[in-house]
A and B are shown apart, each in its own frame.
Chain A
């Protein structure tokens, strides 16, 4: 990171940097920290779920009121700290919020998008470097503000990551913090997405036509449009809910509510469902924001490790674009149980079935790409190969939720949790790991250790399934989500064993992240040194030195071919770079 950069003072180089690579790394590291926090909260919740009302070992004492409550063990006289119902709800809401808005999106878009996209476009930097810096420096305070919610009276937001009013409107101060945090985070995201779009449209290297862009760049472009168009309604909705809470308006309040026996003196006339429409108008496109960059990474890794062109590149691109469009008209499938009539539900079921088609096409293209390949089982490729069936499970289990009749039974159960976690955890997170192992050499000039990577992969693969597979069966058995203790119900108690299994899966998963953490830091300083193109890849980022200097390329890249020209007959090497670096590099 140091060799080529100019003599910038430390704080300009590492802190208030305008270099897309440094900002990408800042995003990546911050997002990984949030990922660990979100996961840590879930470990506490999972402990409670497996051992209801038992003291949380080791860390219970540090969590504080109102997250935990002290209880004395009548036999031993020892004080233990058990999670409270409010604490569980706070952790649940914050797990969702952190994972979506502070971990995965910043990692996938802010981290990988920032670092890789300008390089893949052959650009010296983002179109608006200062805007880029502003985006990170809005994200970080927004995230810190979110976490600050834990220190106000009543604890952090506890109305779910969806914050449905009226529950959210009457919730404790944490919810106000959540809303302020969201407004700031959305602003950050808007700053980023404008930048991405302009960069791809304006700063492509000579000869890099749209259809020579790597699929990763396409995925980021579509993602940026989704963020740009979907977030503003939520930002507006967030401000309205904030007004309901602090200024006495009643946008989402029908009036006449009687809370704990006390009639609320509000003007009324609002609609709780309005919030849900506005929220899901964002949040459905948001799930494609969570997965598209992952699909982009997987495509790069697959092309590189199959040593052959991606199968159906154009289908992939058109599918991603179509997915983007469709994602705006499926939102109400999250609301089938609100009392929707047949006409409306038919429309949203139909659009939901339609949107599954491009997803199937993308997955099919990626799998067929393996046919006729010469597959290298590198660590990124292992994660990419595992991604395919895992994302498949996530996608398939969306079907019963997208059809209203089966959704009656499965709505709001653990089946839903299983479904979307297969998409975002063994799906997106595996894609993120693939991306980290893949581009780490570009960012640092060193490779991560292969064997530690394999241990990390194998353990994660086994345990992540142990965490999430039980959820489908629990959902079938009607175990509802957001439950502090499922043994409170007859059918929940019957399948409590599955919950215990999931908890132990989560602890196993945590243990197998240690090799990764160690590998990551160790490799920065002691990993095997590599050159500009260690994977023998084709796309433009590999034409720049590793790590690329400020301004990225030693000479302006000129693109002569498509992104995945592997194993071209008649060529000496099995990869033909889009722009071979100057002979000296």
Chain B
């Protein structure tokens, strides 16, 4: 997987971790790298010692075990060394990141606020709109179709509020302050590409914040993640979240796969499409339909595994444009009959 805008310091895991697109995420990846290098050194050293010892001291004719314990301080030094290194990991690497992540919330006038409300099995989002003030909410106003957060229609502050289901729209380069909560059971709000995770505990609204990197707009990330898949031996599931970046047509000129289209949302459809594609091309160029997924990291019921949402990231102008379009026009507000 292509890593985007990444510092080289996370290279050892570059091929395994999802792209890292937030400002604090580099430090987390960094810690993970340092830890694994440390772990690998320890493991290899231990393993080498173990292997050597086992071979050297195997039972054989004429060899006898030595009753006396080995003397020597090597193990003590090793233990103290490991202990000190752990102190360094904790105080030097982990705590500063955690403190940055938890201790200094961005100032109220310098952040974009969103409420994220988990529910079996969807993510609801609530934005304060241009006035920057969240309207009052109450469970009795909840309507599954038009008002999932339960906005009070009589509150003037709520008139310009925006609600979305399954989509979170944010600007890049600006601190995003998400108030995380849940309607029913515990969920966990996780954005792997932003290295963000926070449990959603019903009865509590817990704030969490992060900043998407300046260059991490959805459009750009998609472009960076364009990949060529060999059609001969790729499984349907590998492509199910991807769309083609160009048209593919057969000899007669009939388009088999259109730009912007996926190979199909079901296995059957996908496999059929793959079969026809094999006749016309060896590889297909695709990009993720949306690379920035929000997933639910806490077991929340039988569809927990597909409780997801998408993040859309924009530059300042794009964000403004989204907001202008999304703000409800006074006349169009339909609060489901309340």
Contact = CB atoms under 8 A, between A and B. Distances in A.
B128 to A, nearest CB: 22
Nearest to A357: B83
A346 B17 CA distance: 26
B101 A405 contact: yes
A483 to B, nearest CB: 4
Interface string B21-35: 000000111011001
Contact of B53 (A170, A361, A367): A367
Contacts of B195: 408-409
Nearest to A485: B305
A85 B59 CA distance: 53
Interface string A124-146: 00000000000000000000000
Given A374-B65, A490-B288, A491-B293, A85 B57 contact: no
Interface stretch (A323-331, A395-403, A423-431): A395-403
A393 B43 contact: yes
Contact of A350 (B63, B90, B295, B305): B90
B27 A74 contact: no
Given A405-B93, A574-B64, A353 B86 contact: yes
A349 B139 contact: no
Contact of A385 (B18, B54, B79, B190): B54
Given A311-B70, A372-B65, A574-B65, A496 B235 contact: yes
Interface in A282-341: 306-309, 311-312, 337-339, 341
A371 B74 CA distance: 13
A513 interface: no
A46 to B, nearest CB: 15
A346 to B, nearest CB: 6
A373 B302 CA distance: 54
Give the bracket for the number of chain A residues in contact with chain B: 35 or more
A385 to B, nearest CB: 6
Interface string B42-78: 1100110110011001111001111111100001001
B192 interface: yes
B98 A345 contact: yes
A476 B201 CA distance: 25
Given A259-B120, A338-B201, A478-B17, A371 B57 contact: yes
A33 interface: no
A60 interface: no
Contact of B98 (A357, A373, A404, A478): A404
A76 interface: no
Contact of B94 (A349, A396, A567): A349
Contacts of A84: 302
Contacts of B102: 341-342, 345
A339 B79 contact: no
A370 interface: yes
A395 to B, nearest CB: 10
A212 interface: no
Contacts of B82: 357, 360
A166 interface: yes
A573 to B, nearest CB: 12
Nearest to A403: B94
A105 interface: no
Contacts of A487: 237, 240
B215 interface: no
Give the bracket for the number of chain B residues in contact with chain A: 35 or more
B204 A339 contact: yes
A5 interface: no
Given A170-B185, A409-B195, A488-B306, A342 B35 contact: no
B99 A403 contact: no
Contacts of B142: 258, 261
Contacts of B63: 374
B338 interface: no
A549 interface: no
Nearest to A371: B70
21 contacts: A85-B304, A166-B202, A254-B203, A256-B202, A268-B203, A307-B59, A337-B297, A339-B199, A342-B102, A353-B90, A356-B86, A367-B53, A368-B75, A389-B43, A392-B47, A405-B31, A409-B195, A478-B192, A480-B190, A483-B305, A489-B293
Interface of A: 52-53, 74, 84-86, 88-89, 158-160, 164, 166-167, 170, 254-261, 263, 268, 271-273, 306-309, 311-312, 337-339, 341-342, 345-346, 349-350, 353, 356-357, 360-361, 364, 367-368, 370-377, 385, 388-389, 392-393, 396-397, 399-400, 403-406, 408-413, 473, 476-478, 480, 482-491, 493-496, 566-569, 574
Given A405-B94, A411-B297, A574-B65, 9 more contacts: A84-B302, A85-B302, A256-B202, A261-B144, A339-B206, A372-B68, A405-B95, A482-B304, A489-B308
